[in-house]
Amino acid sequence: MAAPYAGQYVTPGRFGGKVAVVTGAAQGIGQKVAERIGAEGGAVVLVDRADLVHDVARGIDQAAKVSGSGGSATSVTADLETFAGATRAVKTALAAHGRVDVLVNNVGGTIWARPYQEYDEDKIEKEIRRSLFPTLWTCRAVLPTMMEQGSGTIVNVSSVATRGMHRVPYAAAKGGVNALTQSLAMEVAGRGIRVVATAPGGTEAPPRKVKRGPEAESATEKDWYQTIVDQTVESSFMKRYGTLDEQAAPIVFLASDEASYLTGSILPVAGGDLG
Residue range 168-211, pLDDT digits in tens: 999 999 999 999 999 999 999 999 999 999 999 999 988 877 77
Position 8 in a domain: no
- State the chain's mean pLDDT as an integer: 95
Does a structural domain hold residue 90?
yes
Say if 3 falls within a structural domain: no
- Inside any domain, residue 80: yes
Domain that holds residue 198: 19-269
Angle between helices 28-39 and 52-67 (to 10 degrees): 20
Looking at the 3D structure of the chain, how many domains does it have? Answer: 1
CATH number (domain holding residue 175) = 3.40.50.720
What mean pLDDT do residues 81-108 have? 98
pLDDT for 7 equals 64
Provide the sign of the torsion angle of the four alpha carbons 58, 62, 65, 69, taken in this order: negative
User: Is the residue at 1 inside a domain?
Assistant: no
Instruction: List b or e across 186-217, with b for residues whose CB sees 16 or more CB atoms inside 10 angstroms.
Output: eebeeeebbbbbbbbbbbebeeeeeeeeeebe
3, pLDDT greater than 50:
no
Whether 11 maps to a domain, the answer reads no
* Domain contains 265: yes
- pLDDT, residue 118, reads 97
Per-residue model confidence (pLDDT) at position 125: 98
Query: What's the whole-number mean pLDDT along residues 34-56?
Result: 98
Is 190 part of any domain? Answer: yes
Enzyme catalytic residues: 170
